[in-house]
Structure formats: structure tokens, C-alpha cells
């Protein structure tokens, strides 16, 4: 495994020197919790940190809504002692809006991150994430504005172009604009599924060799062996995980490499029980709790279909105590079975269809929520405009 000391190479770039000083001040963290909408919230970050993660991103935050809606800020951005290093990630397509939103968060963060990697339909509609790859001058303007206007560093998370040289030039532009760290997801914008085509570590390595600031690798991280292989192959300063970490929040734990430390048997339900305790300490919306429960119990739900039904059809008042009962029952059944693997009652094809339907429903719900918030803000602006015009008429 590549040691952090290997990245203390001399450079003539003052910006790069500051970037590496920043990274070392953070403790040269190698194991990163990726930014995930509704799934890298405080309780989950603290669970991952407890089990080996050394740095984390917040969920992706919508810069305009974050700036204008206090309720959105209070629900989606919470932190606590021990939740550092922490990068606050925003999606944005306007430099002034992002700068203003970031200023509301910078005092509780180590850096502000610009999402340039989200490939989902919601990002296409909102013209942010990976769809800003179509307007690189705008990207450069956003990064430069924030790098010059914030008290904390600016970082970026990107996807790659089909052409290697375009990806390298993209990363170099971000560095020149002021990005102090670049996270590279080694998949194209069109490759939305992390379990689909393999991420291209060669592209990530090429970016790392072409820029002078720290680079994080993202993609093909399913085990701790993968983490170490990726660090050695790419030479990156760190590795981040999203989907695999959702299933196994202890992915980065050294125990995963020791005899008997594999993620199997009742490991998932037991991690869920830990998470539920943290979700009580750091109040978490049940939609987020439920999402994590499905991931951590996922290997067993094809067998325990009744527990899956309870989670899908939550009774009125369903809360953390109900979810704790489901997790405890899963542990009891697994340990009584004497098996470390499930015996599915439904086919893999049917399960995949159900998961795809759930993902579509979640995406539609998130889009609807965003649309409703934006409509609310527009209505408030219209009302303020009417009041202003009325006051002007009275004065006249």
C-alpha cells in the first residue's frame, strides 16, 4: 500500500504546496465516505468513521435551495464533534449562488466540494453535476470564484470523458482554477450503475500524474483488498467508496483482512443496529434510515421476505424502534440458521426488478421534493416582489 509520505514530492506550484499542506493537516486521510444524496448523512458518516473511514463528504446539497431555505439546511447539513475532515458537497450551475451558499457552511467544514459527477436524470434537468461537462468555461468560473471567495479550500469530484486527453485537460483546468483536491470517478457520464462497467483506473492514474494537487480514486472498490490495490495501481492519495460502503460500512476496517473478519453472516444486521443508535443520537429522517436498512440487510432480504415487506409497507408511526426489531429478528434468524449466506425465496431477476423500481421511485420522490422546494421559493419571491411594488406605489 502506498504510504501518505510518498505524496510529499516537491513542487514549484505554490497552490499545490498549499493543497498538500491542507491534506497533511487533515491527517493524510486515505479512506473516504463518498457524497451520496440522502445516504452520507451524519449518522452514517459517524458509523463509517467508527469502522475505519478517515474522511467524509456530506450528501450532495442543492446550492440554491440551501441558500434560500433554512429548513432544508437544518435537515440536510448536520455535523458534530469528531465529524472531521468533512467536505461539504454542493451541486450548482451559478458561481454567485454557490459562493453565497458555501459561505453558510464553510465554518463547519474543511472544504467545499463542487459536484461535477452526478449522472442522474435529476442532474440533467437541473443542469448540474456531470452535465456541466458540456460547459467547461462555466465550470472554471464557478471553481475560480469560490476558490477566491471562500475561507476554506475548494475541491471537485468529476467523471471522465471518453477521450483520455480531454479528461486530463479537464483536471488540469480545475487545478489552475483553484481546486485543491480532485476526486475522479473512473466512469463515463453514461455509465450510471456502479455495478455495471468497471471504472477505468488507468484514467484515474493519468489524472494523478498530470496534476500536482491530491487526487482521490473512485470506482471498483468492493473490498479492502480493492482499496489497497487501487492505491498501489493509481498512486492516488486516497480512495472513496459509495455503494459498497452502504452495504458494508466497515469496508475500511482492518478487521476485514483478518480471519473471520469478512462481511458475511449477521455482520450487516449488527452494523444496522449500531447505525440505529447513531440515528437516535443524531436525529435522522426515516427515509434515510430505511434506505440504509435495505442496504445493510440486503443480502438476507431475498430470504426474509416478511421483514422486507415490513420495511416496504411501514405501519403508521413506524420508527427506529420498529427498525431495531427487524434488525434483531434478522440477527436471530441468521444465527439460528448456522449459515453465512441467504437462501432466496425470490429470484435474482425479481429482486433486481424490485430494486430498480425502488430506485426509480426514490429518484422521482427526490425530484418532486426539489421541484416543490423551488416552487415554494419562487412563490416567496413573487410575494416579496408584490409587496415591494405595493410599497413603491404608496410612496409614489
Task: Output phi, psi for 184, to 5 deg.
Answer: -115, 115
The answer to whether residues 193 and 165 belong to one domain is yes
Q: What is the pLDDT of residue 14?
A: 92
Tell me which residue has cell 411501514: 314
The answer to whether residues 37 and 129 belong to one domain is yes
Q: What is the pLDDT of residue 191?
A: 87
The answer to whether residues 191 and 129 belong to one domain is yes
Question: What does the alpha-carbon distance between residue 138 and residue 134 come to, in Å, rounded to a whole number?
Answer: 9
Q: 10 lies in a domain? A: no
Tell me which residue has cell 426514490: 362
Q: 166 lies in a domain? A: yes
The answer to whether residues 326 and 220 belong to one domain is no
Q: 156 lies in a domain? A: yes
Q: 381 lies in a domain? A: no
Q: Collect all residues with Cβ–Cβ distance below 8 Å to 87 and sequence separation of at least 6.
A: 35, 55, 56, 57, 58, 109, 110, 111, 112, 113, 155
The answer to whether residues 228 and 151 belong to one domain is yes
Q: What is the pLDDT of residue 361?
A: 63
How many domains are contained in the chain?
2
Q: What is the pLDDT of residue 391?
A: 57
Q: What is the pLDDT of residue 248?
A: 98
Residue 297 is part of which domain span? 267-337
Q: What is the pLDDT of residue 346?
A: 66
Q: What is the pLDDT of residue 229?
A: 97
**311 is written with which cell numbers?**
420495511
Question: What does the alpha-carbon distance between residue 152 and residue 213 come to, in Å, rounded to a whole number?
Answer: 15
**Of 212, 237, 257, at which residue does a domain stop?**
257
Q: What is the pLDDT of residue 302?
A: 94
Taking the complete model, does pTM exceed 0.95, yes or no? no
Q: What is the pLDDT of residue 12?
A: 46
Q: 298 lies in a domain? A: yes
Q: 272 lies in a domain? A: yes
The answer to whether residues 273 and 253 belong to one domain is no
Question: What does the alpha-carbon distance between residue 250 and residue 271 come to, in Å, rounded to a whole number?
Answer: 8
The answer to whether residues 230 and 329 belong to one domain is no
Task: Output phi, psi for 104, to 5 deg.
Answer: -75, -20
Q: 299 lies in a domain? A: yes
The answer to whether residues 289 and 241 belong to one domain is no
Which one is catalytic: 118, 146, 156, 236? 118
In this predicted model, what pLDDT tens digit does every residue of 133-172 receive, in sequence order?
A: 999 999 999 999 999 999 999 999 999 999 999 999 999 9
Q: What is the pLDDT of residue 198?
A: 87
Which DSSP letter does residue 353 get?
H
Which residues of the chain have a pLDDT value below 50? 1-12
Helix ranges (H only) for 214-303 are 224-234, 243-247, 267-281, 286-296
Is 230 labeled as catalytic in the residue annotation?
Answer: no
Q: 262 lies in a domain? A: no
Q: Collect all residues with Cβ–Cβ distance below 8 Å to 105 and sequence separation of at least 6.
A: 61, 66, 77, 88, 112
**Of 216, 239, 257, at which residue does a domain stop?**
257
Contact 214, 237 (CB under 8 A): yes
**Of 224, 257, 290, at which residue does a domain stop?**
257
The answer to whether residues 29 and 75 belong to one domain is yes
The answer to whether residues 300 and 169 belong to one domain is no
CATH code for position 219: 3.20.20.70
The answer to whether residues 314 and 209 belong to one domain is no
The answer to whether residues 253 and 272 belong to one domain is no
Amino acid at each position: 500500500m502506498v504510504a501518505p509520505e510518498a505524496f510529499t514530492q516537491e513542487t514549484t506550484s505554490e497552490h499545490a504546496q498549499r493543497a498538500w499542506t491542507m491534506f497533511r493537516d487533515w491527517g493524510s486521510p486515505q479512506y473516504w465516505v463518498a457524497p451520496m444524496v440522502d445516504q452520507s448523512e451524519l449518522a452514517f458518516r459517524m458509523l463509517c468513521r467508527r469502522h475505519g473511514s478517515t474522511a467524509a463528504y456530506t450528501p450532495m446539497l442543492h446550492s440554491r435551495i440551501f441558500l434560500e431555505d433554512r429548513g432544508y439546511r437544518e435537515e440536510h447539513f448536520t455535523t458534530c464533534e469528531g465529524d472531521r475532515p468533512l467536505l461539504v458537497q454542493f451541486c450548482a450551475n451559478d458561481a454567485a449562488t454557490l459562493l453565497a451558499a458555501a459561505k453558510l457552511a464553510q465554518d463547519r467544514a474543511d472544504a467545499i466540494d463542487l459536484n461535477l459527477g452526478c449522472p442522474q436524470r435529476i442532474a440533467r434537468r437541473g443542469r448540474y453535476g456531470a452535465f456541466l461537462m458540456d460547459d467547461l468555461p462555466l465550470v472554471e468560473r464557478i471553481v475560480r470564484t469560490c476558490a477566491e471567495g471562500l475561507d476554506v479550500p475548494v475541491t471537485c469530484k468529476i467523471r471522465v470523458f471518453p477521450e483520455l486527453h480531454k479528461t486530463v485537460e479537464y483536471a488540469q483546468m480545475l487545478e489552475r482554477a483553484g481546486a485543491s483536491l480532485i476526486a475522479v470517478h473512473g466512469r463515463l457520464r453514461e455509465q450510471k450503475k456502479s455495478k455495471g462497467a468497471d471504472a477505468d483506473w488507468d484514467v484515474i492514474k493519468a489524472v494523478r500524474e498530470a496534476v500536482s494537487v491530491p487526487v482521490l480514486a473512485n470506482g471498483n472498490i468492493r473490498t479492502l483488498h480493492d482499496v489497497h490495490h487501487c492505491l498501489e495501481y493509481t498512486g492516488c492519495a486516497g480512495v472513496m467508496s459509495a455503494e459498497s460502503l452502504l452495504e458494508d460500512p466497515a469496508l475500511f476496517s482492518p478487521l476485514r483482512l483478518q480471519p473471520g473478519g469478512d462481511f458475511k453472516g449477521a455482520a450487516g444486521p449488527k452494523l444496522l443496529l449500531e447505525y440505529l443508535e447513531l440515528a437516535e443520537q443524531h436525529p435522522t429522517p426515516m427515509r434515510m434510515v430505511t434506505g440504509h436498512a435495505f442496504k445493510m440487510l440486503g443480502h438476507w432480504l431475498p430470504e426474509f421476505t416478511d421483514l422486507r415487506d415490513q420495511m416496504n409497507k411501514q405501519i403508521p408511526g413506524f420508527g427506529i424502534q420498529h427498525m431495531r426489531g427487524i434488525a434483531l429478528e434478522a440477527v436471530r434468524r441468521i444465527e439460528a440458521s448456522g449459515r453465512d449466506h441467504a437462501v432466496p425465496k425470490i429470484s435474482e431477476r425479481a429482486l433486481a426488478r424490485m430494486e430498480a423500481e425502488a430506485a426509480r421511485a426514490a429518484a422521482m420522490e427526490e425530484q418532486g421534493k426539489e421541484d416543490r422546494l423551488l416552487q415554494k421559493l419562487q412563490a416567496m419571491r413573487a410575494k416579496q416582489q408584490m409587496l415591494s411594488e405595493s410599497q413603491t406605489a404608496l410612496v409614489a
